Amino acid sequence: MKDENGILRTPLDDNGVYVAQQEEFDTFGLARSNSTTARGSMVVLNEYYETVAGYAYDAVQLLENQKTNGKDAIMEEYETIPRVMMTTEEVSKLAQIQPTCNDIVDRYINTWVTSGVTDENWNAYLSELQAAGVEEIVSIYQGAVDRSSK
């Protein structure tokens, strides 16, 4: 939503809580994923801040809010992939392999939800992922993680 100066801003109340603009999109994530063309990371160029788009949240306050709501405790439960830098070649290869793997995952999830999981469709799923190159995806990410931890 644009403010009085024409700058795009996330609609927040006086307490910094997201204010839904449509009832069905009651969180910022739902609103963004249903109103933008990209569902992944959103990037705003530095020179756009306060000229085209405003900061959605104060970063320090956002981190404090996450901690208050249990982020540290939740994150202790997960082993996550750290943010890593990849080469142009790695990014290009991922762009070739990941869409096919994502389609396979989505298709099988749909099958499992509607028809259930069987040994047969689970084994077919694993075989399709293998053939599509899932091991190469893992290898690319592992290489990037290994480089970043040096």
pLDDT digits (tens, 9 = 90+) for 58-94: 556 666 777 777 777 776 777 766 778 889 999 999 9
What is the C-alpha separation between 106 and 88, in angstroms, rounded?
A: 27
Based on the domain organization, do 59 and 116 belong to the same domain? no
Number of domains in the chain: 2
Based on the domain organization, do 2 and 50 belong to the same domain? yes
List pLDDT tens digits, range 113-122: 888 899 999 9
Which two structure tokens, joined as six digits, stand for 69? Answer: 């709501």
- Backbone dihedral region for residue 146 (phi beyond 0: left; psi -120 to 50: alpha; all else: beta): alpha
Based on the domain organization, do 46 and 29 belong to the same domain? yes
- Alpha helix positions (H), the chain: 28-33, 59-68, 71-76, 88-115, 119-132, 134-148
* Domain ranges, residue 109: 88-148
Based on the domain organization, do 11 and 56 belong to the same domain? yes
Based on the domain organization, do 114 and 136 belong to the same domain? yes
Based on the domain organization, do 19 and 59 belong to the same domain? yes
Q: How many residues does the chain have?
A: 150
What is the C-alpha separation between 94 and 136, in angstroms, rounded?
A: 9
Based on the domain organization, do 72 and 6 belong to the same domain? yes
The whole-model pTM stands at 0.48
